[in-house]
């Protein structure tokens, strides 16, 4: 088993936690996101571990507007084969661009001939352990709906705005069912 290391990176968003083994990044959590406590409990703080130094340099480039790509870093996110395929696909979404869960599902289902649902893609996106670098924040729902984000919709908007996306075209998800207040007014 490979040793695990972690470091903390101070960003314009707040503190970012990076986790890596000796060969690749295994986790990146933004402020407000819950890290994998099982892995973190096994990790040793090591600011100079080569993969973590690479990860921090990547974040430096990102926050300076230099548009680094996920392919610049060795990554080994823990997850099922399906999730890893979705995360690999997310890495092809360019900086400042958006794609929908449905687009990704249609594209990923074509080669195998089977169908894939947008909800299945959404489930994998929601379990992305390497936030920001694997750009799950660039995936939106149909018609520009800003559906869930592990760090919250405000953080998702902030990241997209940082990348130059016109967030005015995006909408918060519609609430499911009437709120208790609305129900009283309807009666």
Average pLDDT, rounded, for the chain: 89
End-to-end CA distance of the chain: 62
Task: Identify whether the C-beta of residue 55 lies closer than 8 Å to the C-beta of residue 25.
Answer: yes
* CA contacts within 13 A on the Cβ side of 142: 6
Task: Identify whether the C-beta of residue 129 lies closer than 8 Å to the C-beta of residue 84.
Answer: no
Q: Which helix (H) or strand (E) holds 32?
A: none
Given 56, 64, 91, 136, the catalytic residue: 136
Report residue 179's pLDDT band, with 50, 70 and 90 as the boundaries: very low
121 pLDDT above the threshold of 80? yes
| Active-site residue, 136 included | yes
What is the pTM assigned to this prediction?
0.89
What pLDDT digit, counting tens, does each position of 10-57 carry? 999 999 999 999 999 999 999 989 999 999 999 999 999 999 999 999
Is the alpha carbon torsion for 37, 90, 100, 61 positive or negative? positive
pLDDT greater at residue 173 or residue 19 = 19
């Amino acid at each position: 088993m490979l040793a695990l290391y972690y470091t903390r990176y101070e960003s314009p968003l707040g503190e970012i936690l990076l986790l890596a083994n000796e060969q690749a990044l295994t986790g990146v959590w933004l402020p407000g996101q819950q890290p994998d406590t099982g892995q973190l409990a096994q990790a040793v703080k090591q600011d100079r571990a080569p993969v973590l130094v690479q990860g921090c340099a990547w974040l430096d480039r990102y926050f300076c507007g230099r548009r680094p790509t996920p392919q610049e870093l060795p990554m080994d996110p823990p997850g099922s084969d399906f999730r890893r395929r979705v995360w690999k696909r997310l890495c092809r979404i360019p900086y400042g661009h958006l794609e929908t869960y449905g687009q990704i599902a249609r594209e990923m289902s074509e080669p195998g001939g089977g169908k894939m649902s947008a909800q299945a893609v959404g489930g994998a996106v929601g379990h992305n352990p390497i936030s920001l670098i694997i750009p799950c924040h660039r995936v939106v729902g149909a018609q520009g709906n800003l559906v869930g984000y592990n760090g919250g919709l405000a953080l998702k908007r902030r990241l997209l705005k940082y990348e130059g996306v016109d967030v005015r075209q995006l909408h918060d998800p519609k609430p499911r069912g009437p709120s208790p207040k609305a129900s009283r007014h309807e009666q």
